[in-house]
Structures are given as structure tokens and as C-alpha cells.
Amino acid sequence: MALFGTAAACAIGYIYWQTNVLLNRQLEQTIEAEVQGLAEQYRAGGISNLARTVANRSLSVGNSIYLVTDSDGDRITGNLASISRDLWDSVGRVEFVYDRPGQNGPESRLALVNIFRLKGGFRLIVGRDIEDRRVFERVVQSAFFLGLGFMALVGLGGGWLVSRSLLLRIDAVTATSRTIMEGDLSGRVPVVGSGDELDRLSENLNAMLDRIEQLMAGMREVSDNIAHDLKTPLNRLRNSAEAALREHGGAKSYRAALELTIEEADDLIKTFNGLLSIARLEAGTASGAMEEIDVAVLIRDVVELYEPAAEDMGLSLTAQADGYVRIIADRQLIGQALANLIDNAIKYGGAGAGGKIKVTAIDTDVAVEITVADLGSGIPNKDRERVLNRFVRLEESRSRPGSGLGLSLVAAVARLHGGEVRLDDNKPGLKAVLSLPHKSNHNSGAGTQ
């Protein structure tokens, strides 16, 4: 602000000074020319010639001032009445105030004159009326100071206003972050809508807060589910151990109780491992084993692993893929996801003997799609989103084994690979599609040889 003020003052001061210099030079040149002309007349015809010329020139209206006096100081000719006695002896350039008739009587005006002493005591006084210039100078001067003052006022005031609004907005960010630190995640930084840097910062902060809140909600949901789905079996486990102790059933019943306890503990461990896997997949940390795999080989492998189990249930399980279906992926994770889908199809897609489960892999150029289709009862449309969540089991009785984590793990594997899992109607049955997009840096042409 001070810098701006100084610069402005310098600029205006310079303009003022330059104007002054220019005007002065003009004035001097005019007077000089006048003096030159009169000097010629004087050289040519002496004082009488000079007096005549001065008399002539005095007739024209203008700002020129002429006066020729005799040695006593009495006026011979000219448009100036007289000059004061104080100036009488001075020679050269002199400024003084004189009276001139104006519209409303005589007015005092400033004059700048040259006084020459001629032979025989005559005096020639040539000059210009500079009252106008003085007025102009005053106007410029007052404009300069007024401008400077105005600028300082506007600059300081404006600066204060701008910085105050900026500080207020930063204060708003601080206040929001404080409420968030205190545990209220719903707070958001206000966005004024001007689209400036601070607004963009606020928008980014808000987006970040949205993401954090979403993650926190996810965490809360998971911990609620853990509380329910781990505490219940833990309680059961504890109860059965307690019951065995209380009943004094002898070695045999103790043994049975212990075996049951271990079984339940194993189930708990499985659930726990499943949850941890999903959590790690969702955190995106488990991506160290990406390699090019042939999905055609993979589906044949996994189908071969499950085929005898399916056959035992009276189901036929077949794999179908032509040639190579290559993609960059984690073989273990895709294998597990596919295993979970097939496992589901065997458990729920049975519909008695003669059921068919088809596993196919195709490359659509954009993505590799692994489809597991069964002829079972399928999943109602309204449940298809929900069933991908943790611990959701559509069977109310929960009589069949399973933790309710299978499809959530498939969904998490798909997300880790940038893909998705879709549950469609196979008419009848369920068609689960695991879609894995080719990475943009991976030439999709290489996947379809």
C-alpha cells in the first residue's frame, strides 16, 4: 500500500514538475522573442522607434506587458501604468503584482517581466501576465494533493476491505476444521461462488471431507457388522464352554464341547480373515501381485477344482473360453473371486439335480468379463445391490454354511482391478458377471490374439 502510494505520488509529482518546466520554457521563449524584436527596433531607430513599436504592440489585447519610462520613472508608453519604486533599480527578471482593469473593476494579477536600463535613464519593461499560469499551477497543485489523499484513502480502505474479507473466509475454514477436529464430520467450508483460488481450495477441502466422511461411515458400518457377526458366535462359543463346565458330563462330553469350541473358533477365524481381506482390498494396499494372466486357463483351473463338488450336488459345471483371454490382474484374487461365485452358484443355484452352471470368459476389447451363470432361483432385482454388502445373506434362516462375505469379497476384488461385479437375470437363475477392464497402458489388442 505504501509502495503504491509512493509510486503514485512520484508519478503525479513528475507530471506536475514537467508541466511547470514546459510552461516556464514557453514563457521565457515568448518574452525572449519580444525582447529580440524590440531590441532590433531600438538599434534601428533609438528610443523613439522603440516607443512607437511598444505603443503599437500595446494596443493589441493579450497577456504581453510593455512599459517604457523616462529616467524619472514616468510612463512614456505601454499598457502598464507604472511599476513600483521598489523595483525601479532592479534589472533583469522580476515578478510582481500589478493591477489591471477587469470585468468587475481592477484585479491584482501576477506578472513576470524583464527590466532593461537603456541609454539616457530610459527603462524598458517587457513581460507577460502570468496570473493564469499561477491559477493553473494552483489547480494542478491542489489536484495533486487531493488526488494523493484520495488515492491513499481508497488504497488503504480498499486494502483493508479486501484483506478483511479474505481473512474472514480463512477464518471460516479454520472454524470448519475446528468443528471437524471436535468430531463433527458434517461441517463444510463455505464456498462463495466466485470461482477464485480460495473457492477452489474450499471446494477441494469439501470433496476431501466428503470422501473422509464416506470412509468413516463405511468403517462404522463394518464395525457395527463385526460387532454383530463376531460377537454372536463368540457368545455362543463362550456359552457352550460354560455349559460343558457346569454340566460335569465327564470326559466324553468335555471332549465334544471342546471340539465344538474349536469348530466355532475356526468359523470365527474364517469370518475375521474374510473381513480383513475385504478391508485390505478396499484400502487398495493389496495390489503387489499384478501380472499378466490367461483368464481362459484360470477359469478352467477353478472349474476343475469345483467340478467334482458340483457333481456331488448333481450339478454340471463347465468352463467355456476360446483361446487366450489375457489381462493384467492378481491371479490369486481373481481365482478367489471366481471360486466364491462358483461356490454361490453351487449352494444357491442348484435347483435340484440336473442344474447347469456355466462359466465363461470373453474379451470385449474394453474389458475381460468372467460370467458365472446358474439356473437356480436367482436374486430378486431389489436385492441385487444389497447382496454385495458385507454379511448380507438373503436366506433368513442362515441354515447353510457361509459368512455372507463371499460376494462382498468379489466386489472388492473387482474394485481393486478397476472393474465391477454385475448381477443379472439368467432367466431363470443368476448371472454374475465379473468385469475387469484392460488397463489403459495395456494394449487391449494384445489381449485378443
Partner 1 sequence: MAIQAVPPYPRMTPQTHIHAGQFVQEVHVSALHSVPMRILLIEDDVETAAFLVKALKEAGHVSHHACDGETGLALAESGAHDVLVVDRMLPKRDGLSVIAKLRADGVQTPVLILSALGEVDDRVKGLRAGGDDYLTKPYAFSELLARIEALARRSAPEEATTKYTVGDLELDRLTHKVNRGGQPILLQPREFRLLEYLMKHADQVVTRTMLLENVWDYHFDPQTNVIDVHISRLRAKIDKDFEAPLLHTVRGVGYSIRVERA
Chain residues binding partner 1 by CB under 8 A are: 262, 265-266, 269-270, 273, 276-277, 280, 286-289, 301, 304-306, 308-309, 311-312, 330, 332-333, 335-336, 339-340, 343, 346-347, 401-402, 406
CB of 322 to partner 1, least distance (A): 21
Residues 6+ apart with CB under 8 A from 253: 244, 247
At 417, give phi and psi (nearest 5°).
Answer: -90, 10
Q: Please say which residue, 371 or 403, places its beta carbon nearer to partner 1.
A: 403
Q: How far is the CB of 333 from partner 1 (least distance, A)?
A: 7
Residues 370 and 434: their CA atoms lie apart, in Å, by: 5
CA 95 from centroid of its chain's CA atoms? 66
Q: At its nearest, how many Å lie between partner 1 and the CB of residue 286? A: 5
Residue 269 C-beta: closest distance to partner 1, Å = 6
119 vs 400, which CB is nearer to partner 1?
Answer: 400
What pairing do the DSSP bridges indicate for beta strands 123-129 and 290-294? Answer: unpaired
Q: Which three-class secondary structure string do you get for 43-78?
A: HHHHHHHHHHHHHHHHHCCCCEEEEEECCCCCEEEE
CB of 174 to partner 1, least distance (A): 40
Q: Which is nearer to partner 1, 132 or 266 (CB)?
A: 266
Q: How far is the CB of 359 from partner 1 (least distance, A)?
A: 15
Q: Which of 79, 78, 67, 81 is nearest to 115 (CA)?
A: 67
Tell me how far apart the alpha carbons of residues 79 and 126 are, in angstroms, rounded to a whole number: 10
Nearest distance, CB of residue 335 and partner 1, angstroms: 5
CB closer to partner 1 out of 247 and 311: 311
Please report where in the chains the cell 495533486 appears, as a residue.
144
Q: Looking at beta carbons only, is 253 or 332 nearer to partner 1?
A: 332
Residue 358 Cβ, how far from partner 1 at the closest point, in Å? 18
N-to-C CA span, the chain: 70
Q: How many C-beta atoms lie closer than 10 Å to residue 7's C-beta?
A: 10
Q: Which is nearer to partner 1, 333 or 414 (CB)?
A: 333
Task: Evaluate the omega torsion of the peptide bond into residue 401 and state whether it is cis, within 30 degrees of 0.
Answer: no
Cα 246 from Cα 233, distance rounded (Å):
20
What cell does 315 get?
450339478
The residue count for the chain: 449
Question: Is 100 exposed, middle or buried (CB count within 10 Å of its CB: 0-12, 13-18, 19+)?
Answer: middle
Q: Smaller CB distance to partner 1: residue 301 or 420? A: 301
186: three-class secondary structure by DSSP: coil
Nearer to partner 1 by Cβ, of 188 and 347: the residue is 347
Q: Show the cell assigned to 14.
A: 513528475
